[in-house]
A and B are shown apart, each in its own frame.
Chain A
Amino acid sequence: QSALTQPASVSGSPGQSITISCTGASSDVGGYNYVSWYQQHPGKAPKLMIYDVSNRPSGVSNRFSGSKSGNTASLTISGLQAEDEADYYCSSYTSSSTGVFGGGTKLTVL
């Protein structure tokens, strides 16, 4: 149950685009199209932003998009806004039917 690998931090200016990567293995990210992404503001519960690699729940801005190639999934946020500043976590279903999260990425909007 090793955690997925994410960069510790990323940053961007308002209006720019950023991408956060999430690297796993063939037993999780690479083996299933069940990658999800969560946004967490300080002191708040996580919020689902992307499910099944690239799908957005109702109410989530279309500035958020997801993709996957091999064992690496990515979250892209376009048109950065101040309110996007938060921690972001990826997650994947695993072959052992357990859950696994990435270590989290702190997004700073400059």
Chain B
Amino acid sequence: EVQLVESGGGLVKPGGSLRLSCAASGFAFSSYSMNWVRQAPGKGLEWVSSISIGSSYIYYADSVKGRFTISRDNAKNSLYLQMNSLRAEDTAVYYCARFSVYSSWDYWGQGTLVTVSS
């Protein structure tokens, strides 16, 4: 069974940093691109970042470019999101999602809540 479990969310002050993790199991993690998608309270889904199988191709939404860094450790079946210079508008549930061979996100984690507030 495919499982994606996010962790690392919490309350952080504006300007602070946080590192999210996503532990994957039940599939060949090293064979899939992975993504982070977020959802602000009461709002829609927003794509945040993607990373290719071997980390050669990395993309970011304009809203997080220069502040967030996506990475992965295929040996540990884990995906990460380092978030720096956090702003109130970064408050959201952050989902880890597997990008399927059919250009869609076929499995999602349960999400981890990040709250940026003083």
The contact of A98 among B44, B59, B111, by CB within 8 Å, is: B59
Q: Which residue of B lies closest to A34 (CB)?
A: B103
Interface size class of B (residues with CB under 8 A): 20 to 34
Q: Closest A-chain residue to B109, C-beta based?
A: A45
Quick one: CB contact mask for A1-39 with B, threshold 8 Å, 1 for yes? Answer: 101000000000000000000000000000010101010
Q: How large is the interface on A (under 10, 10 to 19, 20 to 34, 35 or more residues)?
A: 20 to 34
Q: How far is the CA of A42 from the CA of B85 in the complex (A)?
A: 30
| Cα-based distance from A3 to B106 in the complex (angstroms) | 20
A104 to B39, CA, bound (A): 11
B residues at A contact (CB < 8 Å): 35, 37, 44-47, 50, 57, 59-62, 95, 100, 102-106, 108-111
Enumerate 13 A-B pairs (CB-CB under 8 Å) in ascending A order. Answer: A36-B104, A45-B108, A45-B110, A46-B45, A46-B105, A51-B100, A89-B45, A97-B57, A97-B59, A98-B50, A98-B59, A99-B47, A101-B47
